[in-house]
Structure 1
Amino acid sequence: MTSRTHPIAPASKSLIKAATAAFMLGCLLTPSFAQQAPTVLIDGSSTVFPISEAMAEEFQNKQSGKILATVGSSGTGGGFKKFCRGETDITGASRPIRSEEIALCKESGIEFIELPVAVDALATIINPGNDWATCLSVAELKKIWEPEAQGKVQNWNLVREGFPSGRLALFGAGTDSGTYDYYTLAINGKEHSSRGDYTATEDDNITIQGVIGDKNALGFLGLAYLTENAGKVKAVAIRQADGSCVEPSIATATDGTYQPLTRPLFYYVSKQAADAKEHVREFVAFLFDADNQKELVSEVGYVALPAEAATLALMKFESRKTGSHFEGGSKIGVTVTDLVQDAAN
């Protein structure tokens, strides 16, 4: 497998992405190159982006330039908009597709195959200098993030008696993000129900840098970004119903003990693209190869599908089973076992 060095500084990463995009655009505008190198078009969730990036890089290396794979990061909502307009072959999502997005795809004649790709433990993060908020309850997190907190809960001492009076600096996913949807549902009880006076971004590296730069900061993002920045930020443990404090990790996401912030991650594949493009079929087969899942998904800090689940997901793709197993929104408390069952149904 290709060696990938982490972390990449945000500014450097942006320059690399821009240079890569410019190179790819130049290549795609050359007719002979486009004919020789069919391209898998991937976009979507910033949380799923590290998986897509690792898979695309390794796939291209295996193909020796015969097939290319481009990866964008428009957020889950932005990715679905492109996908449902037929602009991409595959979109990553950190939540299930919504009813209105299903309707948009239907209007454009886009059928989709919903494939679970990994499990994420959504992390609440703090600065390493924060020695007081190491374990918070869902109720305390709700006190910070609920809409009623805007303009009122500005200091840590309003979260819990005994906390210092430092002014909260909040960072998190933008409103077009599946991470935002899931976090607000899990913590506040309703999607898109949140205070608005925080630094919202589709670039999780901005959240990382914000928390690194302020002792009183708190943010939320996917597990891969916590893993990539270990030592620069630290995770807040979540107090469970039995009183235990559980931190986000591959282990606690796998066994389902980290609740309510363990969630599935998805790929949605266009049936039209799968039927018409052999290179898309080859890429999906690569995605759900059990060895690739185990190595590449785990490498970027998420829980890989068990071999059985990866096989079932590929079978679902090959049978072109379309539609969503969810009721137009996220579900709390989904485990790896649930993903296997969803793939099998």
Structure 2
Amino acid sequence: MTDTKTDRSVRSFSRRKVLAATGAVGALSLAGCTENTGNGAGSGNGDRERVVVTGSSTVFPVSDTLAEQFMEQNDDVSVTTDSTGTGGGFSNNFCPGNSDINGASRPIQDAELQNCRDNGVEPIEFQIGKDAVTMAVNNDSPVDCLSYDQLAQIWSQNGAQTWSDVNSEWPDAQIQRYGPPSTSGTFDWFRNNVIGDAGSHVQQYEKTENDNELITGISSTENAIGYFGYAYYQQNEDKLKALEISQSEGGECVAPSIDAAQSGDYPMARPLYIYASEEALQRDPVYNFVEFYIEQSSTNTISDVGYVPVSEEQAQSNLEKLENAVN
């Protein structure tokens, strides 16, 4: 009988040789193609094996697109994806063992890692791309660029209330804020990296894990501002205005883009991850989907979604980490 781990190793090595030539397939629909309606990771769907993916709304378009592509090639596997937020996915799904993979727009936190391990779940981290966190306003807004300091004024508790509080040349009108909830990795990243020591994140704002609802709110509300992953802006460029960002007052204003995130010129660029359960990876459908995910992460599939692909070297390193996780 052939050893399964040996089969995996041979298959992975073969695929790595053609990794650079792997192309993108299919079109992106940010509305999502699948929904997590099952009763836990690993359960079957009829005669089909099942892989459950939860987590970041930012990473969701990547997972959803790759789930469709993977199922087109593997009709005996059902991959369900659910946009729960990074933190919500870890606490409610992944760490309790109810999902196999969790997308994350920030690294796993110590408390989350401990929670996972307390439940017998060992997370394996794979960086799968890079995002340009996008701050957007209504198309009629006179604002074109904001510094980190101005962003902190707008988004800190007890901070600016009107646009004129930030800049006297801007309207004396109430700032209408839209953003992710505290369970979101995007929320955590923005609070830690932009607001920082300036204060705590404002609590009174329109919040949702559904980034398309943020787009709708900002585009239809005068004096609105909000933030989300770049992929959602790329699909809605005509509906709202993305702000340029400068890291310091008087510094260069840089617009969000895939190129600016890749070069590091855009101040609000950040890595994106998936975390796979080491135990779940022992099941072939999960292993094969993660392997497929990693292979695609260095291709145009990621940029078509609206993010920066990882380097081929990073993808190779991820594949080796995947193999080691089951050996």
**2:49 is the alignment partner of 1:38:** yes
Aligned length: 300
Letter in 1 for 2:87: G
**2:239 is the alignment partner of 1:228:** no
**3-state DSSP of counterpart to 1:274:** helix
Check conservation: 2:28, 2:61, Cα contact below 8 A.
no
Letter in 2 for 1:183: F
Offset, 1:240: 3.8
String of CA shifts for 1:91-142, please: whole Å, max 9, x gaps: 0011111111111111111111111111001010011111x21011111111
Check conservation: 2:57, 2:210, Cα contact below 8 A.
yes
What pairs with 1:268-283 in structure 2 (closer than 5 Å)? 268-275=275-282, 277-283=283-289
Offset, 1:295: 2.4
String of CA shifts for 1:137-169, please: whole Å, max 9, x gaps: 1111111111222xxx22111111211112211
**3-state DSSP of counterpart to 2:233:** helix
CA distance in 2, matches of 1:214, 1:221: 16
CA distance in 2, matches of 1:157, 1:301: 33
**2:324 is the alignment partner of 1:319:** yes
What pairs with 1:80-159 in structure 2 (closer than 5 Å)? 80-81=90-91, 82-130=93-141, 132-149=142-159, 153-159=160-166
Letter in 1 for 2:265: T
CA distance in 1, matches of 2:219, 2:25: 29
**3-state DSSP of counterpart to 1:205:** helix
**3-state DSSP of counterpart to 2:194:** helix
CA distance in 1, matches of 2:110, 2:275: 14
Partner of 2:305: 300
Give aligned-pair identity as a percent. 35
RMSD between aligned residues: 2.3
**3-state DSSP of counterpart to 2:106:** coil
Structure 1 residues 283 and 145, CA, compared in 2 at 3 Å: closer, same or farther? same
String of CA shifts for 1:39-88, please: whole Å, max 9, x gaps: 1111001111000000100000111x111100011111111021111111
**2:161 is the alignment partner of 1:170:** no
**3-state DSSP of counterpart to 2:179:** strand
**2:198 is the alignment partner of 1:198:** no
Check conservation: 1:172, 1:220, Cα contact below 8 A.
yes
**3-state DSSP of counterpart to 1:258:** coil
String of CA shifts for 1:177-216, please: whole Å, max 9, x gaps: 0000001112210599211111111111111011110131
Check conservation: 1:181, 1:192, Cα contact below 8 A.
no
Letter in 2 for 1:317: L
Name structure 1 gaps, 5 residues minimum: 323-345
Structure 1 residues 93 and 288, CA, compared in 2 at 3 Å: closer, same or farther? same
Letter in 2 for 1:304: P
Partner of 1:248: 256
Letter in 1 for 2:263: D
Name structure 2 gaps, 5 residues minimum: 1-23
Offset, 1:303: 0.4
**3-state DSSP of counterpart to 2:139:** coil
* TM-score between both structures, scaled by the size of structure 2: 0.86
